[in-house]
């Protein structure tokens, strides 16, 4: 794939969930420094069943696709009570969040992570929310740097440990 000009960001349909789940597992399993499937089997089971998130009213599974090929996805959460992470994020009011941003290896560097992030920000703005909450890890340095360039700011009050693995919170004022 050599450009993203024909990649659309849409809401995933249930027939896409298994393929998106496999993409999530592949992306996260291949991150240097990220826990392996054997270390956190429940996390990878959650990734494989990513479509389960869409069962909550405030949640959309957004997908980056071109024709019938899926290149990336993200879980958008329009009400933080549905965020489903550790730490204090689920108690933040008047905020949206997104989790589990993933872009396939073949589509890296084409700006799809940024496009998915912008789609989440736009959804939150349309809801009239005040901020966007996200988490990332040291293993996701490329994403971390992208978020900082997009003016997300570290928010240590949102940090938590996922079975001993440090997870770092960020906020973006909308």
- Residue written as token pair 């703005």: 125
pLDDT values of the chain reduced to their tens digit, one per residue, 174 residues? 445 468 999 999 999 999 999 999 999 999 888 888 999 899 999 999 999 999 999 999 999 999 889 999 999 999 999 998 888 999 999 999 999 999 999 998 899 999 999 999 999 999 999 999 999 988 888 899 999 999 999 999 999 998 788 999 999 999
CA dihedral 50, 53, 55, 57 (to 10 degrees): -150
Return the CA Rg of the chain.
15
Yes or no: domain 8-129 corresponds to CATH 3.40.630.30: yes
Give the domain ranges of the chain: 8-129
> Tens digit of pLDDT for each residue in 86-132?
889 999 999 999 999 999 999 988 999 999 999 999 999 999 999 99
The model's pTM is 0.93
């Amino acid at each position: 794939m050599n450009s993203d000009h024909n990649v659309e960001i849409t809401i995933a349909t249930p027939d896409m969930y298994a393929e998106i789940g496999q993409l999530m597992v592949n992306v996260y399993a291949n991150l240097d420094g990220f826990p392996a499937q054997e270390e956190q089997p429940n996390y990878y089971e959650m990734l494989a069943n990513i479509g389960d998130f869409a069962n909550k009213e405030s949640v959309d599974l957004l997908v980056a696709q071109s024709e019938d090929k899926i290149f990336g996805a993200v879980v958008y959460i329009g009400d933080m009570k549905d965020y489903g992470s550790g730490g204090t994020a689920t108690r933040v009011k008047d905020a949206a969040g997104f989790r589990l941003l993933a872009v396939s290896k073949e589509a890296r560097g084409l700006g799809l992570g940024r496009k998915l992030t912008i789609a989440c920000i736009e959804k939150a703005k349309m809801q009239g929310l005040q901020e966007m909450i996200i988490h990332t890890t040291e293993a996701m340095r490329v994403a971390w740097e992208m978020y900082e360039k997009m003016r997300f700011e570290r928010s240590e009050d949102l940090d938590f440990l996922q079975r001993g693995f440090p997870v770092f919170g960020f906020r973006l004022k909308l």
